[in-house]
């Protein structure tokens, strides 16, 4: 039986706790420690854990000092700035690691994790949850087999409104750096990261690879009073000449669930979050597959990780696969300024979760820009400022390192 430890039960930690409980009920895993730094807010959960004989520790360091050498798997649904340092600590303690996306804020830290994983001969898997759905792997095989012909474009769209409560929920939301460590929180590195990763995965030339970005253009905007951006349009091109367009915002009026469309010479594949995947192939009946809800794909992440540890087989997302996503994030923050949307172009209604800053008609703008492959300024947004790109990413190795390199 695999002995596991969990860091955190708040936020995404709830998902990891649920994942762990399922595997414990199945008899595949035992929790030998849980870190809870905010016990007063999570007292009920802590008591339930302790009634089951699961030790609860007030700090990560206290837990690791007790379980080092006994823990097989460390679960890390923590703040972005702690992903790499805690992964490295887990590897030093002899554990395999399941870390949430992104693996780290910088490419330099991901490379450190990859090297440490190889040296320790331990597995590190990454919680890009949707890639663990068998239907997503089926789509990759359809693309590689040429069912919809040569891929020329992948389109990512999504609109999830977020209020001031979202940015006030912790000390790193909307931040670029915290306590001298890079974070680079943004829609593309957090809520919508999964869907950019789908585009990268489906543009990869082999079953287990992602596409490599050759050039990048971007327009980054903030409607909210944050360090990072909450709205963006991106135009990427891979080394195999696939155009990837990305339009995401937390400053819209209504929710528009993320959608990823793959356009080929002989058809298309449209994947809609928690809804359906529609495959249209010239001369063939339309095929519709159900896209599972978040609960199902979240549970699959730990299930796949345990299967790989038990059998050495099965698909998992590795830091090497996730590296290209972080290379894009680093390029965005190195090459493109974050522009503030003028207050004259915003409305700010208040709700139960506080103020929500909105860019009027952003959903219409996204559709107009996506239809022509334009960035927001090219689509006529009155508040938009043209991109400084395109920038070549040939030979670009991202930002060197953050906090993790000295861990």
Residue 297: name the closest of 270, 317, 319, 274 by CA: 274
pLDDT at 274 over 60: yes
Pull the structure tokens for residue 292.
């599972």
DSSP conformation letters of 271-288: EETTSEEEEEETTS--EE
CA distance 201 to 184: 22
Q: Nearest 5°: CA angle at 170, between 165 and 173?
A: 80
Three-class SS of 114-143 = HHHHHHHCCCEEECCHHHHCHHHHHHHHHH
pLDDT value for 404: 44
Instruction: Note the maximum CA span of the chain.
Output: 62
This prediction has a pTM of 0.95
CA distance 66 to 73: 14
Confidence of residue 403 (pLDDT cuts 50, 70, 90): very low
Mean pLDDT of the residues in the chain: 95
In the three-class reduction of DSSP (H, G, I as helix; E, B as strand; rest coil), residue 181 is classed as strand
pLDDT at 113 over 50: yes
Across 203-230, average pLDDT: 97
List b or e across 102-116, with b for residues whose CB sees 16 or more CB atoms inside 10 angstroms: bbbbbbbbbbbbbeb
Q: What is the pLDDT of residues 317-361, one digit of tens each?
A: 999 999 999 999 999 999 999 999 999 999 987 776 778 899 999
Cβ atoms of residues 183 and 105 within 8 Å? yes
How many residues belong to the chain? 407
Query: In angstroms, rounded to a whole number, what is the distance separating the alpha carbons of residues 383 and 220?
Result: 12
The separation between CA 113 and the C-alpha centre of its own chain, rounded to angstroms, equals 17
8-19 pLDDT per residue, tens: 999 899 999 999
Average pLDDT for 236-264: 97
Residue with tokens 């909450």: 230
HSE (side-chain half, CA atoms, 13 Å) at 109: 27
Residue 238 CA to its chain's centroid (Å)? 19
Domains of the chain: residue spans and CATH: 2-129 (3.40.50.720), 135-291+318-380+387-406 (3.30.360.10)
| pLDDT of 405 higher than 50 | no
> pLDDT-derived band of residue 401, with 50, 70 and 90 as boundaries?
confident
Q: What is the pLDDT of residues 230-246, one digit of tens each?
A: 999 999 999 999 999 99
Q: Which of 38, 64, 43 is nearest to 171 (CA)?
A: 38
* Residues 59/35, Cβ–Cβ less than 8 Å: yes
CA angle 146, 152, 154 (to 5 degrees): 100
């Amino acid at each position: 039986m695999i002995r596991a430890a969990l860091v955190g039960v708040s936020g995404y930690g709830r998902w990891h706790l649920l994942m762990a409980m399922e595997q414990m009920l199945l008899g595949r895993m035992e929790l030998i420690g849980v870190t809870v730094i905010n016990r007063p807010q999570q007292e009920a959960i802590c008591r339930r854990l302790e009634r089951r004989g699961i030790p609860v520790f007030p700090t990560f360091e206290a837990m690791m000092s007790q379980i080092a050498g006994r823990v097989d798997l460390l679960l890390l649904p923590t703040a972005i700035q702690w992903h790499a340092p805690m992964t490295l600590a887990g590897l030093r303690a002899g554990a395999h690691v399941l870390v949430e996306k992104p693996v780290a804020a910088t490419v330099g830290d991901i490379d450190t994790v990859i090297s440490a994983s190889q040296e320790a001969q331990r597995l590190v898997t990454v919680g890009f949850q949707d890639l663990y759905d068998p239907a997503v792997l089926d789509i990759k095989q359809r693309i590689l087999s040429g069912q919809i012909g040569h891929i020329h474009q992948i389109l990512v769209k999504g609109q999830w409104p977020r209020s001031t409560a979202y940015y006030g929920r912790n000390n790193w939301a909307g931040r670029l750096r915290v306590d001298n460590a890079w974070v680079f929180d943004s829609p593309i590195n957090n809520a919508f990261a999964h869907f950019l990763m789908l585009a990268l995965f489906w543009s990869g030339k082999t079953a287990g690879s992602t596409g490599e970005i050759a050039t990048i253009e971007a327009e980054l905007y903030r409607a909210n009073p944050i360090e990072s951006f909450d709205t963006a349009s991106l135009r990427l091109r891979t080394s195999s000449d696939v155009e990837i367009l990305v339009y995401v915002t937390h400053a819209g009026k209504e929710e528009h669930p993320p959608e990823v469309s793959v356009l080929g010479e002989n058809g298309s594949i449209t994947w809609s979050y928690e809804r359906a995947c529609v495959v249209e192939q010239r001369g063939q009946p339309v095929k519709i597959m159900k896209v599972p809800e978040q609960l199902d794909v979240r549970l699959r992440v730990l299930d796949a990780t345990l299967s790989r540890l038990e059998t050495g087989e099965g698909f998992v997302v590795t830091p090497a696969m996730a590296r290209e996503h972080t290379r894009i994030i680093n390029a965005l923050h190195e090459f493109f300024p974050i522009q503030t949307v003028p207050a004259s172009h915003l409305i700010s209604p208040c709700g139960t979760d506080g103020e929500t800053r909105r860019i009027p008609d952003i959903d219409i703008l996204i559709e107009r820009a996506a239809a022509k492959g334009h960035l927001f300024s090219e689509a006529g947004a009155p508040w938009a400022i043209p991109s400084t790109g395109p920038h070549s990413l040939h030979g670009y190795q991202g930002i060197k390192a953050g906090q993790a390199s000295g861990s």
